Structures are given as structure tokens and as C-alpha cells.
Amino acid sequence: MNDKTPKQDLRTVYPDLAPKPGEAPPREHRAPRSPRPMNIVPEIGKHGLAVGKNGSGKTTTVASLIVPASQVYPVLVIDSKGDGSLEQLPGARVVTLPKDIEFDGLEIYKPEGLLNTSDYLDGVLQLAYETKRSMYVYIDEMYQVCSRPQPSLGLSNLLMRGRHRSVNGRPVRMSTLMSSQRPSWIPRHCGTEATYFYVHDLALPDDRKRMAELTGMPSLAMQPGPNHEFWFYKTGMGEPILCRINKRKELT
Ligand SMILES: Nc1ncnc2c1ncn2[C@@H]1O[C@H](COP(=O)(O)OP(=O)(O)OP(=O)(O)O)[C@@H](O)[C@H]1O
Ligand SMILES: [Mg+2]
């Protein structure tokens, strides 16, 4: 670990999600085995950004969030890179055409050919927005969907208008989870609209600086540590904390 890293608790994370009234709580919620479990799953209607260099653990971290989330809300994953680990998640269903997306359960959208371009991917985000249903949307590698400084239409609707709408008198809340290897190459809005941050090891100083600036937390510019540790920061927390997903427990 970097010598300058402030001393922090290293917490093994057990994501959980408050169940709806009358509903059985998810298993993780009932029997956390960590001495100090904590909830890092974004509340519905809040956005999250996971960043880190290639192989640092972003997809693994977000996968551990969306599995419990999918027990309560639909989760759509935009898997433009074709990460094989996502389709192995419990309950996941792979979809290759937008017309087959049902916005129900845990769906992994794996577009092929021409459908795997940023404009078409953004069209699927717009489709999700237009369903007017509360859900989580996870964009695995944001750069593939939008590499311009300004967010595209579907993305900007999800980020800026999707958090909370009233549709026929009922609340609709959408959460967008995003991951990126290069946070300084994606629209700033992805960071400024996010409330939950998962900062893995980043290769370049520019990207570390970007995360520190976006959150006002200088420790996010420091390396988190070995073995897929990451900084977790939620807006309003005093300081980020160091975390590590217990992969064996969470994803099996
Ligand atoms: N907490 C963890 N414990 C054990 N292994 C992990 C953990 N996090 C990630 N890994 C392993 O490290 C490898 C890379 O993880 P992952 O695919 O999540 O990284 P990534 O940041 O999404 O990479 P990429 O930029 O290529 O998408 C995988 O083999 C994964 O199983
Ligand atoms: Mg990944």
C-alpha cells in the first residue's frame, strides 16, 4: 500500500438492500458474517460510478451490487465489451436485440455488430428511460457508450431526469451505474451526477486527480492497495473507506 495512504479500516463488503415492507430480506441482509458489514448498493434513484484500470475489479464490484439489487428492481446491464462474467451471475438472462429486452429481472444486453456502436447503445438507454419504470441500468465501460464531453440523449435523460419522476402520480426512480477505465475521458456529468463512488486502482495521475476533484476527497487520488481493494465514497460521508469484495461469498 502507498505509504501516504491514511490509515483506514479495510472492510470486507457485504452489499445488501433494504427489502420492501412484507418482503423476505435478501440472504446477505439477514446473515452478514463480516464483523462490520455495510451497504454499498446505491439507493434506487441514486447513480454510481466505478473506476479503475484494466483488471482492477470494477465489473466484479458492480456485479456484487446488481445481484442483490435485482431481487428488488429490474436491472439492465449494457455489456458492450462482452464480459463473460456478467452472464454467469445468478438469475442473469442474455439479450442481444433491443426488442427482446423485457426490463424484468437481471438482463444482460450484449449487442452484436452494428448494434454495438455508441449511438445504438445510447438508443437503448433512451428506451430504458421511456419505460417509466424504476430500475437500475449498469453501463459496463462508459467510454463505449459516450466518449464525448457532453452526454448523449439517452444517457443525459437517465442521469439528469431519470433519478426521480412522477408518472401518473407514482414515483419512478432510476439508478445508473457506470464503470470506466478512464474517468477523465467520459462526460463530467457521469461523476457530477453520481452519489456513490467505487475507486479502484487507476493507472494515470489525470484520472486520480479527476476523482479527487469530483468528490472533493484528496484520498481518492491515492492508490487503494493490492488485491482489488477500492475506495468507497458516498456523497456526504466524512472520508472514503477502503473496501474489498469477498468474491467467493458474493458471486457464488
Ligand atoms: N475482490 C476480488 N477478489 C478476487 N478476485 C477478484 C476481485 N475483484 C476482481 N477479481 C478478479 O480480477 C479479474 C479482473 O476483475 P474485473 O473483470 O472485475 O476487472 P475490471 O476492472 O472490470 O477489468 P476490465 O477493465 O478489463 O473490464 C477477474 O479475474 C476477477 O475475477
Ligand atoms: Mg470490467
Average pLDDT, consecutive stretches of 10 residues, N- to C-terminus, the chain (252 residues): 41 43 40 54 97 96 94 96 92 96 97 92 97 97 87 96 96 97 94 97 95 95 91 94 78 35
Is 165 part of any domain? yes
Is the pTM value of this prediction over 0.85? yes
Other CB atoms within 10 A of residue 148 CB? 11
Query: Looking at the domain assignment, is residue 19 inside a domain?
Result: no
Tell me whether residue 35 is in a domain. no
Q: Contact 14/67 with Cβ under 8 angstroms?
A: no
Whole-number pLDDT of residue 54: 95
> Residues, the chain, total?
252
pLDDT digits (tens, 9 = 90+) for 108-149: 999 999 899 999 999 999 999 999 999 999 999 998 888 888
Number of domains forming the structure of the chain: 1
Residues 6+ apart with CB under 8 A from 95: 101, 102, 107, 108, 109, 110
Q: Give the ligand whose atoms come closest to the C-alpha of residue 58.
A: 1
Q: Compute the CA torsion angle 147, 49, 81, 152 (nearest 10 deg).
A: -30
Ramachandran angles phi, psi of 182, nearest 5°:
-130, 80
Instruction: Look up residue 45 and give its three cell numbers.
Output: 434513484
Residue 187 belongs to a domain: yes
Q: Which domain holds residue 197?
A: 41-250
54 lines ligand 1 (CB under 6 A): yes
Residue that is written with C-alpha cell 430480506 in the block: 25
Task: Give the residue, by CA position, lying nearest to ligand 1 atom 5.
Answer: 247
Is 117 contained in some domain?
yes
**Residue 70 CB partners (closer than 8 Å, separation 6+):** 91, 105, 106, 136
CATH of the domain at 161: 3.40.50.300
Which amino acid residue places its CA nearest to atom 4 of ligand 1? Answer: 247
- Give domain status of residue 94, yes or no: yes
Q: Residue 15: inside a domain, yes or no? A: no
Neighbours of 19 (CB within 10 A): 15
Q: Within a domain: residue 26?
A: no
